[in-house]
Every structure is written in structure tokens, then in C-alpha cells.
Amino acid sequence: MTLARTWSVGLAGVHGAMVEVEVDMAAGVPQVVLVGLPDAVVRQSVDRVRAAIVNAGATFPHRRITIGLSPAAMPKQGSGFDLALAAAVLAASDVVPGHSVDRLVLLGELGLDGSVRGIRGVLPAVLAAARAGHRQVVVPAANADEAALVDSIEVLAAKTLAEVVAHLAGRAPLTRHVRGPLPPAPPAPDLGDVVGQASGRRAVEVAAAGGHHLFLTGPPGAGKTMLAERLPGLLPPLDEEAALEVTAIHSVAGTLPAEAPLVRRPTFEAPHHSATMASLIGGGSGQIRPGALCRAHRGVLFLDEAPEFPRAVLDTLRQPLERGSVTIHRAAGSATFPCRAQLVLAANPCPCASAAGDAACTCSALERRRYQSRLSGPLLDRIDLRVDLPPVTRAAWLDGVAPPETTAVVAGRVAAARAAAAERLSGTGLSVNSQIPGRLLRERWAVPRPSLRLAERALERGALSVRGFDRVLRVAWTLSDLAGRTVPGADEIAEALGMRLQRVAA
């Protein structure tokens, strides 16, 4: 047999695309020609495949070999095609039967010693293979648990190329990999650790219940980071569809823990303020990979010391926060990643950041304004909740009269509020109040005009934009859900307005 074909999967964002691997052998000067828009890593796979085949006990054919990767117009990136290339070459040289690889999907990088090494993006690749109707996929043993998350396809785990050759030749078939029980998730930080800060605790609860963005300001030691770290623990666990979606993102990014192949809890990403635009949003010079915002999909993106981030980097968040997805364009193509994350910003009130508060501040009014202006108005306009945290008093720290509520207690109220919102939003495709379009807010779930007087006055005097007015309504609905009310009243509107304008008033 001089022609053989098998299958592998390429990645476009967090979605897989089937790639047919064809190998043709002909008489002529021995050489290998690889076509189909391969990148540098794929082109180098020829040398890895040659060494791996020899060290697996087989012979690499000394003929003119043409390898085609189809569809030819799709760029091929990464080392995940190695195993499929080796299998197709062996089938074309009659080392293994051609029919054994004809409908088989193979994923994996080859070491020079013939070992099969783990790769990124196995879960979206296996999902793509299952959607295309393939029944078997061979993956590296390191990725077997991740691949087995897809129940509709048989996963065969391989540690070496020799094992794959023996399976294809029928000498020692690989057995189906069965995923073991998932380990319990590690405990999340408890909200009961936060002493005092009633306004901050309330804001975190409201943010969790409605999926709202949050901005915390206060002196060092006020509890900004502690509150942000405890927000994911208040969010409900991810359902099966969301868990697979988030797991696919982390698989492509290469941040999926080997011991826990399925992400079941909302994630928490906290990049340093030296992060670049590509690391925050996504990108890269080669394969386009998701950034911190995308890895926080259905979780929390926390930007501590937010004014220290470059303003241009922060402003790139504006459009993705509105759309819930980000499309990154490069000359070789584009990739779209979901990024419906909750943004939490934290900042000191001024550059000197005195722990004693404003009384000990040495900054001039101009310095404070310059520091706060590093966060642009359009970005802040997208933040629903803005809370100023005062320094924790001695009485709250040492003489607290009652222990603070734990995460479990607050998470129960959050779950009840989210259930009420989901029932109200059923049939719209929405799940939380922060996603409701302004038109629906005003037409389908209109708040009585008498309850809106405070918000209307703030809109008239310019303290609120039209977008800000809609965001006040969304927060008011969340407060109503937490209180067990069917429609927001004047009290909910006033509290929502206070949470949005508190920083402005300061």
C-alpha cells in the first residue's frame, strides 16, 4: 500500500476542527514533503516522527513521502499531529494495516525515544471527533482522564508509539480507558474570615447573586483582596455544560491540573499589574491562546492594584465585558474565546496608600485625582457596584460581638436569589440579572415610576449615564431577589444607587 490516511484534530480557539492526514509514497529520491499550511512545530514533526519510529522498533521508509494535512487552507499548529503522522506513515509502508487507521483519530506528541507525550487542548479535540462521528481516539496516557470526559467516544490511552503499533497490528489491542472518580475539590476560602466590613460583605453577596462587576477601594489591610478571593466560593457550582466549556479553555491554555481534569467550580484569576495585553485578553505570536479574562470565564477576574495596570490594557476589557466573548485577529487567522467573567477591581484611594486612612494621607488633591483617573470613565461605567472600605476598627477586630456569617450561609442566600432570577428569566436564554438587556428591563420588567425617582434625579443631574441607569435597575432586581420580593421598591433602588455612586460621592 502506498497511500494511507488517518485523522487528527486542529484547534481554532477553544473548538476543534478535524484534520485528515494523508501519506503517499512514491519512487524517487528519499525525502519528506509536508503540505497543508503547517507551522514550524508541525514541520519539525517529521524529524520527531522519524526518530520515534526507529526507536519503536520499526523502519522509517526510504522513499519519496508526501504528507498532506487537509483542509489545506486551515493553518495547522502544535505538536499534536505527531502520532497521526507516524501511524499514517507506518500504514502507507504496510507495517500496519491501512484499514486500522482509516477512521481512527490520533492525538499526541512523540518523543525521540518513541514515548507519547501529553498535549494541550485534548478535550475540545475529542469533542470535535465525537461530533464528526468517530468512535475511537488514541490519546497520550497523560491526557486520558481529560479525554474520557466525553462519554460518546472510546478513549485508548498510549504511553509509547510501540504500544500504538502493536494495537494497530492486532498483536496487543489497547483497552478502553475508564476515568476514575474525580477527587474532591479543595476547600475555598471562607467568608467568615473577613472581620467587619459589612458594606464589603454585602457588595460581594450582591455581586455573586446577580453576576455584577465590583470595584473595591480602601486603605491597605481593609480586606479588599480577602473579599475578592471569597467571591468564587459564593457562586454556584458549574453545571455539566459550563464545566466542559471552562475545562476546554484551561486545556487549550495548558493550565488544567492533571489530578483534576474537570473544572467544577468557578475559577479565580488574579494577574499581576505588570500583565501585558496579550496575557490579559489572549493572543501570542504563534498559536492564539486564551488570556486571564478567558480563563476566568464563568468565574472571577480580580485585578488588584488596578490603577497600576497600564490604562490601555485595562481599556481592552471594555468590549469583552459587554459581549461576553473576545475575538483575537492575527495575520494567519482569528480565534474567539468566551469570557463571561465577573470583574473585580481593587485600588487604594491614593498613591501613598496610608493604612491609617485619609487622616494620615500625604497626597495632594491633584495627586489623588491623577491616581484615580488611571481608571477610565468608560471602564468604570461598566462596573455595577463601587464600594469604599474603611479601615477595620479595633472594636470590629478584637471585640466583635458576633462571628461573621460563613460562606455556606451566604451562598445559600445567593443560590435562592439566583433561582428566583432564573425562574423569572426562563425562556430568554439569560440566567443572571447582570445579563438582561436594557430594553427588556424597561419593557418586560418595568419598575414602578415612583420607585425610580432617586435614579431619575441622578440621571438628570448627570451623575448617571443611560448605561448606568440600566445597571442600577439590574442591581435593584438582584437586591429584590435576595429580599424575596417580586418587584424592586424604592429601598432597593436607593441601595443600588448608593452602591454605584458611593465612590463618586467620596
Among the residue ranges 139-148, 165-174, 331-340, 395-404, the one predicted with the least confidence is: 395-404
Tell whether the model's pLDDT for residue 396 goes beyond 70. Answer: no
Average pLDDT of the segment spanning 203-219: 95
Supply the pLDDT for residue 32. Answer: 93
pTM equals 0.90
Supply the pLDDT for residue 411. Answer: 95
Question: What is the DSSP code string of 235-271?
Answer: SPPP-HHHHHHHHHHHHHHT---TT--S--S--EE--
Tell whether the model's pLDDT for residue 1 goes beyond 90. Answer: no
For 445-486, give the secondary structure using H, E and C. Answer: CCCCHHHHHHHHHHHHCCCCCHHHHHHHHHHHHHHHHHHCCC
Quick: pLDDT tens for 349-364.
888 776 555 666 778 8
CB 231 within 8 A of CB 241: no
Supply φ then ψ for residue 274, to 5 degrees.
-90, 5
Supply the pLDDT for residue 12. Answer: 86
Q: What is the residue-averaged pLDDT of the chain?
A: 90
Report the Cα 85 to chain-centroid distance in Å: 31
What is the grid cell recorded at 80? Answer: 499534536
Supply the pLDDT for residue 397. Answer: 57
According to DSSP, residue 92 is labeled H
Between residues 368 and 70, which one has the greater pLDDT?
70
Tell whether the model's pLDDT for residue 232 goes beyond 50. Answer: yes
Tell whether the model's pLDDT for residue 392 goes beyond 80. Answer: no
15-26 and 64-70: which strand pairing?
antiparallel
Q: What angle do CA 14, 382, 423 make, to 5 degrees?
A: 70
Between residues 198 and 293, which one has the greater pLDDT?
293
Residue 504: band (very low, low, confident or very high) from pLDDT cuts 50, 70, 90? very low
Domains and CATH numbers, the chain: 3-169 (3.30.230.10), 191-393+401-435 (3.40.50.300)
Q: What angle do CA 58, 63, 64 make, to 5 degrees?
A: 130
Supply φ then ψ for residue 385, to 5 degrees.
-120, 125
